[in-house]
Amino acid sequence: MTGGWRALLRLYAVQGTWNYERMLGVGMGYAAEPLLEDLKTVDPVRHSEAVVRSTEFFNCNPNLAGLALGATARAEYEAVPGAQIARLRTALCSPLGALGDELFWTGAVPALIGLALAAVVLGAGWWAIGGLLVIYNLFRLGTGIWALRTGYDAGMKVGSAIAASWVPRAVGRIGLVAGFTIGLAIPMVAVWFLRGFGWAGGLGAAALGAVGVAVTRWFGPWLTSVRFTLIAMLLLLVFRWMGL
């Protein structure tokens, strides 16, 4: 695979031109450039068509975009009909979005954040923050390399390659770990903050938290936790201004 490392590096900026029309489209085209370079000398017309296809609408989790990128680049070299490649891109959007979101946004990220929060509360400081960054970025780099290679090796059969891979199994497990670590962190963080305010302050903040959970459920999505907090702060300032 020529240009693999450059493509991998460019995938880190795949959302650089994110917009509501093509979403990741242009970013995918940017990342595809090094992979398609050899096609320019072999078949310049095909190369032009491939570049155009690579910038069309595409959306998925950015961390698994390498699977689609590798698969479509391989298909271009194998002279698969353009319409078939476009269909493959469209078909990959939803599964790569769902798997990637579950693996990263609701899995690895909250799992590691929960652990880091708990460690910071216990006094780990920079070790917790450094560990969070190193572990996450190594996981992400490894996944990125795997995704690009697997996509390129599988070509049009990338769907089967994903189904047989470690990703679907990992998604099921990492979500449970994330649930546990976030659950672990919340009471630790709450006690860490409220210890300094005594019983009355602690109970007041905890009660406010409980009210916040309830009202943001009832009045969501308009009343988010951020808006709830800002409204409560504004009310306090008004009451204090009134001398209460």
Binding to another protein, residues 192-231 (CB under 8 A)? 192-194, 196-197, 201, 204-213, 216-217, 224-226, 228-230
Structure-token pair, residue 237: 């300032």
Cα 42 off chain centre by: 36
Name which of residues 105 to 164 contact another protein (CB under 8 A). 105-106, 109-110, 113-114, 116-118, 120-122, 125-126, 129, 132-133, 136-137, 140
| Element (DSSP H or E) covering residue 4 | helix 4-11
Give the CA count within 13 Å in the CB-facing half-sphere of 244.
Answer: 6
Cα 60 off chain centre by: 9
Minimum distance of another protein from residue 228's CB (angstroms): 6
155: region left, alpha or beta (phi > 0 left; psi from -120 to 50 alpha): left
CA distance 39 to 211: 61
Q: Is 238 in the site for another protein (CB under 8 A)?
A: no
Toward another protein, which CB reaches closer, 128 or 158? 128
**Selected binder of another protein within 1, 4, 86, 101 (CB under 8 A):** 101
Cα 146 off chain centre by: 16
Count, residues near another protein per rule CB under 8 A: 94
Interface map 11-50 toward another protein (x if CB under 8 A): -xx-xxxxxxxxx--xx-xx--x-------------xxxx
Q: Is 6 in the site for another protein (CB under 8 A)?
A: no
